[in-house]
A and B are shown apart, each in its own frame.
Chain A
């Protein structure tokens, strides 16, 4: 009897370790970086905008619009399912920690969510990637375009942050108004959330198991997507925060968390590319060029800028939007809706005519080891991260670039 009590105590402590408090962002960053390496080892690295685009294509396919009847069905799409189970993983994390609540903001916030999501869709389709594919995975993939996309993101965040401050001064009523909260898990009344968390977790594992027979890659994308959502929710991993906070409050925690994830990913990705690990039936060169997009330099800088604007206005990048959807933030539901509605339209009708006007040489894939070798490319990305680290820490101390 006493042994049982001891065991329950130990499990209770384990539960508290994971779900009583938020995790440090750098812990989330390191685990997400590791899971990203696993995704690459299984198939290809983490990406988010492609998955949300798949949701949009499936929506239009059901509606019979834009000739998208041949779109990959969601249940067969690696990235569509990765994104879906990222939302579900966050939902599980929020339920286990009793943080789930349906939070409905005023209309002004919903409009900003939708506009932010739409801008992210435009940025991702023009820039070929989002904060995950073209940044969090792009930098470790040794992509020259990722560096340019990142510069665009920075510029977009700075402009959007200025807009948010201007809006608050000039139109303080836009984001204010009545808000509502339902199903909150505060106090003992909220214990149902823990039980609901177990049920959703078991269903997720059952679905992954069902796929494991003939679709092993998809089964693992489901599991890793779920873990990514849970970890992002518990550590509040947010790339908007990483870019925005140094210029707002001067805080560096969010930035350091993202840097930790990129550095872990850099080590793993470099090894996978260098040795051609899991090259399978594709050519070694194809494996090396994974996540090297033809956006260097114009599409990367413009796409990054527009994406940076959108994610700051929405209050979450592609992945930040997804995990906040899972914990019940309805503003980010509006953002996800804007993203999935606009993304296929942009991909089909907005981006192609613009790209046609650009010189063909601007659709360039820049793979850093082609110019610098693997040691040089690895060192370049490391130095960029190091400079960013020194900047955010110096700025945190001096407040030179912080508005607050």
Chain B
């Protein structure tokens, strides 16, 4: 997905994990994805650089679709579609 498409996505759940360091964002993502239905979209806000690599790998392994990452000021948004 392009950056523009990602920014215009309507998300079903937003998880703000900017306050937590590694592995907090991943733990938050795992916990929250259980609360949405298959096909719904979740964004994870994180300020931990390692998360950019960890969450997509975890999502793909678990059968969720990694849609992309958008950089913002001091943090980034990772978009996932629940599988």
A positions within 8 Å CB-CB of B: 22, 99, 101, 103, 105-106, 109, 113, 164-165, 168, 175-179, 181-182, 184, 186-187, 236, 238, 241, 244, 248-251, 315-316, 324, 327, 329, 331-332, 404
Contact = CB atoms under 8 A, between A and B. Distances in A.
Contact of A175 (B19, B26, B57, B72): B19
Nearest to A236: B50
A105 B16 CA distance: 12
A184 B38 CA distance: 35
B20, B21, B24: which has the most chain A beta carbons within 10 Å? Answer: B21
B72 A250 contact: no
B49 interface: yes
A246 to B, nearest CB: 13
Contact of A105 (B21, B31, B57): B21
Q: Is the interface of A mostly helix, strand, loop or mixed?
A: loop
Given A105-B19, A106-B19, A404 B74 contact: no
A175 B28 CA distance: 11
Interface residues on B, range: 20 to 34
Given A181-B74, A236-B53, A105 B27 contact: no
A332 B30 CA distance: 23
A103 B31 contact: no
Given A99-B49, A181-B47, A186-B73, A175 B20 contact: yes
B18 to A, nearest CB: 5
Contacts of A249: 26, 54, 57-58, 61
Contacts of B24: 109, 175, 315
Nearest to B58: A249
B71 interface: yes
Contact of A181 (B22, B52, B62, B75): B75
